Structure 1
Amino acid sequence: MRSLLIALAATVAIALPVRAEDVTVAVTAIVEHPALDAARDGVKDALAAAGYKEGENLQFVYESAQGNPATAAQIARQFAGDAPDVIVPISTPSAQAVVSSIRDIPVVFTAVTDPLGAQLVKDMDKPGGNVTGLSDMSPIADHVALIKEILPEAKSIGFLYNSGEANSVSLLEVMKEEAEKAGLTVVESAATKSAEVQGAARALVGRADLIYVPTDNTIVSALEGAVAVAEESKLPLFTADTDSVSRGAIAALGFNYYDVGKQTGEVVVRILKGEKPGDIPVKVAAGTDLVVNKSAAEKMGVTLPESVLSRATRVIE
């Protein structure tokens, strides 16, 4: 009887459907904020469009470092041990943590401003090794032109950033070059963690004619603190991140990060289908949107010109 039960159990076990996850894609971001979250969702949707669907043939793992570089390093080590098919670090700090820890798993970074400066790859066209990805280098010259169009009397730009983020340091250098061409000076104010953002914004009051926030994860994650200062002081606040405009910035000319994520996901699919990451060139993400916030502009004492409103991709009332 016992042998019969064992045989029956074995038969049932064989008959039960076993749903194996065919591929695993592990995603990590330095912090959670709308732009990085949108990039993550874009990656997942691009995978689904290519037939890799979570719960069917895809295991999609996501970890946030909650703004802590040490946690980002821990996540990278965890992923190295788990050995997924592809790792997707979102943001420069997460990409640096992953690339420094992993040599034998394909890595596709995204939302990285300066892949060369961050030492993620040595050649954008022929990255080699196990790494490729997408850059979101901001069109800084266009940002300066937009600022001049909205605030023609401005003489100085307050650059609010985390001096510990390599992407922001790269953007600061580009901003200095472009501002000088336009006859503007740059005033720096740094916050190394989210709790310092409001104070760093307040340090620009009386020293700059406006606040500019680059694609800096620390500042963007605590943007409301900077917006409060901007409204109180009538100090216009611009960002490079279009998702930040609905949170109180006047305007942003930049990428739709969901689309950036989809473009990244398409690269992941190429690797899942057999291409080597080192053979895929690193590209700058395609497409830019102009988003403006009329209510925010009014709170900061700014009237948006019709020339800007007429070509905006989206106008927030």
Structure 2
Amino acid sequence: MRTLLLAFAATLAISLPARADDVTVAVTAIVEHPALDATRDGVKEALAAAGYKEGENLTFLYESAQGNPATAAQIARQFAGEAPNVIVPISTPSAQAVVSATRDIPVVFTAVSDPLGAQLVRDMDKPGGNVTGLSDMSPVAEHLALIKEILPEAKTIGYLYNSGEANSVSLLAVLKEEAEKAGLSVVESAATKSAEVQGAARALVGRADAIYIPTDNTIISALEGAVAVAVESKLPLFTADTDSVQRGALAALGFNYRDVGKQTGEIVVRILKGENPGDIPVKVAAGTDLVVNKAAAEKMGVTLPEGLLGRATRVIE
């Protein structure tokens, strides 16, 4: 009898479903670079703070598309088939792939500048369906003000971007509008893959007074090529991504992407606790950091104003 009871107990243990608080969160990004990696880590940190801990009651899946949109679509279909509790796509291309792959699984996108333009949602306040998320729309007017503060004689901004990334195309339209208000003109140079970034940066030499790089995953993943051109040509290079300043950009005013990830994770937690994603308004990430690189400024022939250094969140020597 005891043997039968033990056998029954073993069978029951195998057939019992996972605990109600066991969850799976699947995260994917279009490429790996410091800002997107920090966003992923911030999501995991927010989940842990809410009691969802990997190895205990959380399965945390992560896949990078390595810069390939076709791979992003493949990952999206894979995750949709695995049916996690929530999918978190980081970046516009990954978000578009995931939203196209499922209508049932909750999706919380993040690091997407223009959710409406990317057709992820139809209404920021009432997204509806299975999708909500966090926008990192850049404060472009403030970026231009920063460039003019450092380079008061600047007249033309060179915009280095991937013309195939919806996020960057939307930001170009905003940049042109804000540049006109600031008395600046914009010239464009596009790279559709990382191998083209250095050549696209070189195409701006002699045509622009500064290079401005948005939160463009293709360009930022190959930032060092653009920085090399900027140093060689004494062409100051600014980005919207604060993590890029340590890699050689002159300055950036933007989000701390670890915090962006945390804010995203807080939305994920709300869904895990029972809220409908379609009822959660799409938020714009909070907070901006000013990061400057004194060594990069010297290499690019720029003297940074003392007032700017005094209010910087971080100064890289």
**Residue of structure 1 equivalent to 2:211:** 211
Of all paired residues, the percent bearing the same amino acid is 86
Deviation readout 1:92-144 (Å, 9 max, x if unpaired): 00000011111000000000000000000000000000000000000000000
Structure 1 residues 15 and 99: alpha-carbon distance in aligned structure 2, compared to 1, 3 A threshold: closer
Listed as ranges, the matches of 1:297-308 within 5 Å are 297-308=297-308
**Residue 41 of structure 2 corresponds to residue 41 of structure 1:** yes
- Quote the offset at 1:230 in angstroms: 0.4
**Residue of structure 1 equivalent to 2:221:** 221
Aligned counterparts of 1:8 and 1:262: Cα–Cα separation in 2: 45
Aligned counterparts of 1:197 and 1:13: Cα–Cα separation in 2: 58
Aligned counterparts of 2:203 and 2:13: Cα–Cα separation in 1: 68
Aligned counterparts of 1:137 and 1:12: Cα–Cα separation in 2: 53
Deviation readout 1:10-54 (Å, 9 max, x if unpaired): 6667789x9947100000000000000000000000000000000
Structure 1 residues 251 and 15: alpha-carbon distance in aligned structure 2, compared to 1, 3 A threshold: same
Structure 1 residues 15 and 170: alpha-carbon distance in aligned structure 2, compared to 1, 3 A threshold: closer
Aligned counterparts of 1:213 and 1:28: Cα–Cα separation in 2: 23
- Quote the offset at 1:307 in angstroms: 1.5
Listed as ranges, the matches of 1:232-247 within 5 Å are 232-247=232-247
**Residue of structure 1 equivalent to 2:157:** 157
Structure 1 residues 275 and 14: alpha-carbon distance in aligned structure 2, compared to 1, 3 A threshold: closer
The one-letter code of the counterpart of 1:105 is I
**Residue 116 of structure 2 corresponds to residue 131 of structure 1:** no
Aligned counterparts of 2:124 and 2:7: Cα–Cα separation in 1: 56
Aligned counterparts of 1:15 and 1:44: Cα–Cα separation in 2: 29
- Quote the offset at 1:8 in angstroms: 6.2
Aligned counterparts of 2:39 and 2:107: Cα–Cα separation in 1: 16
Aligned counterparts of 1:303 and 1:29: Cα–Cα separation in 2: 36
**Residue of structure 1 equivalent to 2:79:** 79
**Residue of structure 1 equivalent to 2:54:** 54
- Quote the offset at 1:5 in angstroms: 7.9
**3-state secondary structure, aligned to 1:247:** coil
Aligned counterparts of 1:205 and 1:13: Cα–Cα separation in 2: 71
The one-letter code of the counterpart of 2:45 is D
- Quote the offset at 1:182 in angstroms: 1.0
Aligned counterparts of 1:19 and 1:63: Cα–Cα separation in 2: 26
Aligned counterparts of 2:81 and 2:148: Cα–Cα separation in 1: 50
Deviation readout 1:140-181 (Å, 9 max, x if unpaired): 000000000000001100000000000000100111111111
The one-letter code of the counterpart of 1:154 is A
**Cα-Cα RMSD:** 1.8
**Residue of structure 2 equivalent to 1:98:** 98
Deviation readout 1:211-238 (Å, 9 max, x if unpaired): 1000000000000000000000000000
Structure 1 residues 123 and 8: alpha-carbon distance in aligned structure 2, compared to 1, 3 A threshold: closer
**3-state secondary structure, aligned to 2:41:** helix
Contact 1:20 1:57 (8 Å CA) reproduced? no
Aligned counterparts of 2:130 and 2:53: Cα–Cα separation in 1: 24
**Residue of structure 2 equivalent to 1:296:** 296
Structure 1 residues 14 and 279: alpha-carbon distance in aligned structure 2, compared to 1, 3 A threshold: closer
**Residue of structure 2 equivalent to 1:195:** 195
**3-state secondary structure, aligned to 1:31:** coil
The one-letter code of the counterpart of 2:277 is P
Unaligned stretches of 5+ residues in structure 2: none
Deviation readout 1:269-311 (Å, 9 max, x if unpaired): 0000000000000010000000000000000000000111011
Alignment size in residue pairs: 314
Unaligned stretches of 5+ residues in structure 1: none
Aligned counterparts of 1:305 and 1:213: Cα–Cα separation in 2: 21
The one-letter code of the counterpart of 1:247 is R
Aligned counterparts of 1:165 and 1:104: Cα–Cα separation in 2: 26
Aligned counterparts of 2:33 and 2:166: Cα–Cα separation in 1: 18
**3-state secondary structure, aligned to 2:51:** coil
Contact 1:143 1:253 (8 Å CA) reproduced? yes
**3-state secondary structure, aligned to 2:133:** strand
The one-letter code of the counterpart of 2:239 is T
**Residue of structure 1 equivalent to 2:23:** 23
Aligned counterparts of 2:52 and 2:228: Cα–Cα separation in 1: 43
**Residue 78 of structure 2 corresponds to residue 63 of structure 1:** no
Contact 1:19 1:56 (8 Å CA) reproduced? no
**Residue of structure 2 equivalent to 1:178:** 178
The one-letter code of the counterpart of 1:184 is L
